[in-house]
Amino acid sequence: MVASILPNDNLYAYANQHVYSFVSAHPGVLKYVSLVLLTLQNAVLILVMRYVRTRPGDLFKSTTAVILSEAIKFIACLGIIFVEEHYSIRRFIMHLKENIVDQPLDCLKISVPAIVYTLQNNLLYVAVSNLEAATYQVGHKEMAFSHSQPFCI
């Protein structure tokens, strides 16, 4: 019933048109919404990690949590590529072939930081299990700040 009210009976095109027009009319809104959502996500993530690692009872393996979170990110990225390729399976597969199979050296260059990032996430679970949430949060943010400084100079 709702779709029949929309122009050309195309809900996807209608939604995209209004989202793009809102973002282009209010360029600063998306920036602040993203900032607030990322801040909330980081704060809640640490609190939830601390809670699940310090509660009584059986604990899960941190490597399992890290691998599952990376798998979810991988699936989300594949979904974004699929949408960017206009829901075409043929274009999606061609995109993956062109950017992964046909460029193995670039794929290798990206895999090194990805492996280090996975190791770091495993160590984050160890740290949050042994530190208070506030201490961990301050230390983690200071580490990110100190690591980013050489790239700003």
Domain ranges of the chain: 1-58, 60-153
Alpha carbon distance 50, 52 (integer Å): 6
| pLDDT over 50 at 96, yes or no | yes
Residue 87's nearest CA partner among 24, 21, 1, 16 is 16
Q: Which amino acid, one-letter code, is at 113?
A: P
Residue whose token pair is 């390729």: 85
Please write the tens of the pLDDT for every residue from 1-42.
444 454 445 655 665 666 666 666 676 777 888 889 888 888
Backbone torsion region of residue 87, taken as left when φ is above 0, otherwise alpha when ψ lies between -120 and 50, otherwise beta: left
Mean pLDDT of 141-145: 71
Residue 149 in this model has a pLDDT that exceeds 50: yes
What angle, rounded to 10 degrees, do the helices at 27-54 and 133-152 form?
140
pLDDT grade for 151, boundaries at 50, 70 and 90: low
What is the helix (H) or strand (E) element at residue 118, kind and residue range? helix 104-130
Calculate what percentage of the chain has a pLDDT beyond 90. 22
In this prediction, residue 24 carries a pLDDT of 66
